[in-house]
Amino acid sequence: MTSRTESGLPIEPVYGPQHRSGRPEDERLGEPGGYPFTRGVYPTMYTGRPWTMRQYAGFGTAEESNRRYHQLVQAGTGGLSVAFDLPTQMGFDSDATVASGEVGKVGVAIDSLDDMERLFDGIPLSDVSTSMTINAPAALLLLLYQLVGAEQGVRGDQLTGTVQNDVLKEYVARGTYIYPPAESLRLTSDIFGYCRAELPRWNTISISGYHMAEAGATPAQEVAFTLANAREYVRAALSAGLAVDEFAPRLSFFFVARTTLLEEVAKFRAARRIWAQVMREEFGAADPKSQMLRFHTQTAGVQLTAQQPEVNMVRVAVQALSAVLGGTQSLHTNSYDEAIALPTEKAARLALRTQQVLAYETDVARTVDPFAGSYAVESLTDEIEGAIRQLMDRVEEMGGAVAGIERGFQKTEIEKSAYAVATEIDTGERTVVGVNAYTDDGDEPYEPLRVDPAIERGQTDRLAALRSGRDSDAVERSLDALRAAASGTDNVLYPMRDALAARATVGEVCTALRDVWGVYTPPTGV
Q: Cα angle vertex 240, ends 238, 244, to 5°?
A: 30
Give the pLDDT of residue 21. Answer: 42
What is the tally of structural domains in the chain?
1
- Give the model's pLDDT for residue 25: 52
**Can you give the length of the chain in residues?**
526
Residue 43 covered by a domain: yes
In a domain, 460, yes or no: no
Residue 479 domain flag: no
Domain that holds residue 159: 30-427
Supply the pLDDT for residue 325: 98
List the chain residues with pLDDT less than 50: 21-24, 526
33 three-state secondary structure: coil
Output the pLDDT for position 305.
Answer: 96
What one-character DSSP code corresponds to residue 132? Answer: E
pTM recorded for the entire structure:
0.88
Q: Rounded to the nearest 5 degrees, what angle is found at the Cα of 334, between the Cα atoms of 333 and 337?
A: 150
Asked if residue 248 is part of any domain, the answer here is yes
Assigned domain for 171 exists: yes
The CATH number that applies at residue 47 is 3.20.20.240
pLDDT at 171: 93
Whether 457 is in a domain gets the answer: no
The predicted structure's pLDDT at residue 24: 45
- Measured CA to CA, the distance from residue 170 to residue 281 in angstroms comes to 28
For 207-216, write each residue's pLDDT tens digit.
999 999 999 9
Please give the single-letter amino acid code of residue 77. Answer: T
* H-run or E-run covering 389: helix 375-397
Strands 10-11 and 3-4: antiparallel
Is 5 inside a domain boundary? no
Which residues on adjacent β-strands are paired with residue 203? 162
Cα distance between residue 116 and residue 120, in whole Å: 6
Cα–Cα distance list, 375 to 23, 57, 253, 279, 380 (Å): 9, 39, 27, 28, 8
Asked whether residue 444 is assigned to any structural domain, the reply reads: no
